[in-house]
């Protein structure tokens, strides 16, 4: 029962209008339309409040959050946003989305040790939707239908679980950090600080012991 409810939460997220639609109908029918309307509202806010040429660039970044989360390497790559895209041209776009409350940002740590705020690369990060249900609404139509009809998470299982954990950590007041180096097999999905301790958080879409971090 818990697993079924957990899957429902992954599909719906926690936006009040979406949850209300689900409770009233006791079905996923209609929830997607509500989610898509929320996404449309977000896009309209970008067009309304972002200035000048940044509008187009911010929208491109917003559209690429879901596809990049589906990749094994979830680091957000500006070069994948558009043909010929350069990081310096998109500087500040991700932060704009964070400030608007649309996405959460997770920075790559230079070293897996404290302090967190003085120990990360501001140009290397992962992006997560602030609400996991909105991530679902940004997936391709086939994946959305499979999720709602069969609760089959498919290739997006890892992305959905990781987004859900990121969302939960942010709501608990944590800032998001991860660790991954290109020349090392050592990596961790998230690091959070508890008093004087650095706590690794491993997200596993499948059962079994984590292999990426020796504790």
Strands 103-109 and 176-180 come out as parallel
Task: Please provide the DSSP assignment of 43-62 as one string.
Answer: HHHHHHHS-TTHHHHHHHHH
DSSP reduced 3-state for 90: helix
pLDDT tens digits for the chain (215 residues)? Answer: 677 888 888 888 999 999 999 889 888 878 888 999 999 999 999 999 998 778 999 999 999 999 999 888 899 999 999 988 999 899 999 999 999 999 999 999 999 999 998 899 999 999 999 999 999 889 887 777 777 777 766 677 888 999 999 999 999 999 999 999 877 778 899 999 988 899 999 998 765 554 555 44
Nearest partner of 96 among 108, 105, 88, 87, judged by Cα: 105
125 by Cβ neighbours in 10 Å (0-12 / 13-18 / 19+) ranks as buried
Stated length of the chain: 215
Tokens of 149: 């009809």
**pTM of the model as a whole:** 0.89
Nearest partner of 102 among 69, 127, 68, 72, judged by Cα: 127
């Amino acid at each position: 029962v818990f697993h079924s409810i957990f899957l429902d939460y992954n599909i719906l997220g926690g936006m009040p209008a979406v949850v209300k639609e689900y409770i009233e109908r006791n079905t996923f029918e209609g929830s997607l339309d509500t989610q898509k309307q929320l996404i449309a509202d977000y896009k309209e806010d970008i067009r309304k409040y972002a200035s000048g040429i940044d509008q187009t660039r911010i929208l491109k970044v917003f559209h690429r959050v879901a596809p990049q989360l589906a990749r094994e390497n979830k680091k957000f790559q500006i070069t994948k946003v558009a043909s010929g895209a350069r990081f310096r041209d998109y500087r500040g776009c991700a932060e704009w989305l964070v400030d608007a409350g649309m996405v959460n940002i997770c920075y790559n740590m230079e070293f897996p040790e404290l302090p967190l705020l003085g120990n990360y690369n501001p140009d290397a990060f992962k992006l997560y939707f602030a609400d996991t249900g909105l991530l679902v609404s940004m997936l391709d139509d086939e994946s959305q239908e499979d999720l709602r009809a069969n609760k089959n998470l498919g290739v997006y299982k890892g992305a959905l679980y990781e987004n859900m954990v990121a969302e939960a950590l942010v709501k608990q007041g944590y800032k998001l950090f991860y660790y991954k180096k290109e020349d090392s097999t050592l990596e961790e999905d998230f690091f959070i600080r508890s008093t004087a301790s650095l706590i690794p958080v491993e997200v596993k879409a499948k059962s079994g012991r984590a292999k990426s971090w020796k504790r």
